Structure 1
Amino acid sequence: MADNLTNTAENRVTDWLFGTASIAPTLPLKMALTTANGTDATNGTEVTGGSYARKNISVAAAVNGSVTTSADLIWSGMPAATIVGWEIWDSATTPIRWSYGLWDAAKTVTTGDDFKVAAGGWTFTSN
């Protein structure tokens, strides 16, 4: 996926590369689900309602610029929604959105359904 870093993340990586700032996000990173995708500069429309809440995401060390989920992510008790994308946020007091993207296909869930991203079912590539 090309250019899936937010403007904030791009600036922090550039600052880190040139030694003007640290880029470390506040851990844990969390995955949010969206019903409308955002852009580099604007958030997508996050799912709300039901038992939905952002989930902690865990990945192994990057290989060739990519990381993949290392554990299942399961959202139980979802509200009715059509989920089109994802966003990665940190856990700062004022959270920072680091990355975003679309799923390969939209997924419609009805009230009470589960939404699952299997281990290995999500990959982030920085190149």
Structure 2
Amino acid sequence: MADNLANTAENLALDWILGVGTPTRPTTPLKVALVTANGDDATAGTEVAGGSYTRQNLSVAAAVNGATSNSADLTWASMPAATVVGVEVWDSAGSPVRLWYGPLSATRTVAAGDELKLPAGALTLSIA
């Protein structure tokens, strides 16, 4: 998801790099959400709901050349029937903050009870 930081994350990164104010680091673990309609910089997408769906913890390695990716499989078991078009990355604060968003390279349609998996390395995050 290149250049798909939400406005909140863009502001945090700029404030941190430029030494402006005291930006607060997002609450971890970061969580990956699946969406059936993509959002944009300012508005969240429509998150999957139902079945046993829950946001999954995101594990990443240190960035190299301006990018990183999930270091462990992301697996959603017992999904509701849905057509998943994108993902979003949220922090895990009491009132979660959306940090990243982006479309999947190909939409995925799952039937009720199906599993959806993004293997390790499949979700790339970059600022470039």
Aligned residue-pair number: 127
- 1:69 is displaced (CA, Å) by 0.8
Letter in 2 for 1:17: I
Residues in 2 aligned to 1:23 and 1:98: alpha-carbon distance in whole angstroms: 13
- 1:21 is displaced (CA, Å) by 2.1
Residue of structure 2 equivalent to 1:34: 35
Structure 1 segments, 4+ long, off by >3 Å, are none
TM (norm. structure 2) is: 0.96
Q: CA RMSD in A?
A: 0.9
- Identify unmatched segments of 5+ residues in structure 2: none
- Identify unmatched segments of 5+ residues in structure 1: none
TM (norm. structure 1) is: 0.96
- 1:23 is displaced (CA, Å) by 4.1
Q: Secondary structure at the match of 1:10?
A: helix
Q: Aligned residues: percent identity?
A: 59
1:117 has 2:118 as partner: yes
Q: Secondary structure at the match of 1:74?
A: strand
Residue of structure 1 equivalent to 2:56: 55
Is the 2:2–2:125 contact (alpha carbons within 8 Å) kept by the matching residues of 1?
A: no
1:88 has 2:89 as partner: yes
Q: Secondary structure at the match of 1:99?
A: strand
The Cα offsets for residues 42-70 of structure 1, whole Å up to 9 and x where unpaired, read as 00000000000000010000001101111
Residue of structure 1 equivalent to 2:11: 11
Is the 1:30–1:56 contact (alpha carbons within 8 Å) kept by the matching residues of 2?
A: yes
The Cα offsets for residues 54-100 of structure 1, whole Å up to 9 and x where unpaired, read as 00010000001101111111100000000000000001111100000
